Amino acid sequence: MSTLPGNAGVSVLGDKSLEFYREPVCFCLQRIEKHRSRVFQSRLLNRPTAFICSVQGVRELLCEKSGVFLKDPTDLMTNMYGDNIVTTNGEEACLLRLSLTSLFTGACLESWNDYITSVCERCLKDLSVSGQPECVYSVFKALGTELVLGLFLNVRPEEQPELYQEITQLCTQHWHGLISAPVSVKVPMWSSGFCTALEARDKLMDIIRDRLDTDTQGFVGSLASLPLPDSSSASQHLLLFISALIPKALASLLTSFTLALSGNEQEETRRRARLDPDFLHSVLLEVQRLWPPFIGGRRIASQDTSLAGFHVPKGHAAMYISHSVHRDPEVFQQPDDFLPERWSGRNAGQEHLLCSFGGGPRNCIGVKLTDVFIK
Ligand code: HEM
């Protein structure tokens, strides 16, 4: 078995990990070219890491070898979000997924349709009439926030404007903790971003616990009655679900969709997407292929193993980069071109090869809900 091309001593993100998306994507483009391989080694978060930029590699990582490559319980996320499904492994993760998935499928999902439609109509109606230039990302992020807080916390801006405003601000401060150096410093008149984020998290947890104690309706009520492993599990997961990550990801997809379909030359694509739900589906697949909202995901090898034929020692990390995986020319011809037709032609039935929502047994549990939101 060969060793991975690359240098395990080179640091990729270092202190500038704040440039969350652009840096790793550019880094991968350069390394793929340099090593002439879509799987290579470098160093990330102080650990030798196999970077996976091929469809075959990501299938192996997330599906075939999901029992070997595990989530990292010391992930940066744990600082900000505490213990939750994202960083657990084994039986605990299986049980959590079983319980939580029931809230995002079937009757639960259907019961949200009317609410989602009414919020979308209200938030988007002004876009078409104002005639003024608008930053659509901000409009979509506000829409995503309203959907998430309304569905998961029963807090709606028209009913409780002050509480809604307070939670929105706290969610933003909390999110900034994920992209700031993990140093908690507070002196008179100044707090580090990380410290402010921890304080925001504590305030959010107080609000969440209060909702769980007093509200028996909707998602909060259903979550409170789930058989979860311990008493803090419901609140920790609500903190995850209302996090700014989800409105940001929704806004990213909707903005990419808007940009991809804008301009006179896309008039026919817009017309077809409006009339034909299958074509709209293909357009949305192509949007998430070219512009996946999240970088990807990271795992740790629990034993000596291999990935795409390369040796990966126990304790090394593996990180898949969706943007690069989705441009693997082995699977996607003309990988950089926006071609929705590929999903009814050469790539028909290959949606599962995308990894914008992860893949395998630890894929995203919100994928169906996101589909409803987006459509
Ligand atoms: C555009 C929207 C979304 C995107 C792009 C997205 C993306 C992802 C990705 C890439 C993963 C896998 C990470 C990995 O492999 O380590 C993931 C996992 C997860 N997602 Fe999403 N997600 C979205 C919306 C949602 C929503 C609406 C929810 C629920 C409210 C949700 C809940 C989760 C959870 C709980 C996991 C962890 C599953 C596990 O570890 O077993 N996501 N998501």
Ligand 1 atom at minimum distance from 288 CA: 5
Measured by CA distance, the residue closest to atom 41 of ligand 1 is 362
- Per-residue model confidence as pLDDT tens digits over 83-114: 899 999 999 999 999 999 999 988 888 899 99
Q: How far apart are CA 343 and CA 281, in angstroms?
A: 9
pLDDT at residue number 7: 60
Is residue 97 in contact with ligand 1, taking CB distance under 6 Å? yes
- Domain-wise residue ranges, the chain: 2-374
**Which is nearest to 12 in space by CA: 27, 26, 22?**
27
Q: How far apart are CA 210 and CA 206, in angstroms?
A: 6
| Residue 13 phi, psi dihedral angles, 5° rounding | -105, -30
Under-70 pLDDT residues of the chain: 1, 7-21
Measured by CA distance, the residue closest to atom 14 of ligand 1 is 297
Is residue 294 in contact with ligand 1, taking CB distance under 6 Å? yes
- Per-residue model confidence as pLDDT tens digits over 28-58: 999 999 999 999 999 988 899 999 999 999 9
> Within a 10 A sphere around the Cβ of 326, how many other Cβ atoms?
23
pLDDT at residue number 8: 54
Our mutation pick for probing the ligand 1 site, out of 112, 241, 357, 364, counting the most ligand atoms within 8 A of Cβ, is 364
pLDDT at residue number 86: 93
Measured by CA distance, the residue closest to atom 17 of ligand 1 is 364
pLDDT at residue number 297: 95
> Within a 10 A sphere around the Cβ of 336, how many other Cβ atoms?
9
Measured by CA distance, the residue closest to atom 40 of ligand 1 is 86
> Within a 10 A sphere around the Cβ of 342, how many other Cβ atoms?
20
Distance from the CA of 49 to the center of ligand 1, in angstroms? 22
Distance from the CA of 88 to the center of ligand 1, in angstroms? 14
pLDDT at residue number 83: 87
> Options 1.20.1250.20, 1.20.1050.10, 3.30.360.10, 1.10.630.10; which CATH number does 2-374 get?
1.10.630.10
Q: How far apart are CA 152 and CA 244, in angstroms?
A: 13
Is residue 249 in contact with ligand 1, taking CB distance under 6 Å? yes
pLDDT at residue number 182: 74
Measured by CA distance, the residue closest to atom 37 of ligand 1 is 86
Residue type (1 letter), 230:
D
- Yes or no: say if 150 and 156 are a contact pair by the CB < 8 Å rule: yes
- Per-residue model confidence as pLDDT tens digits over 243-275: 999 999 999 999 999 999 999 999 999 999 999
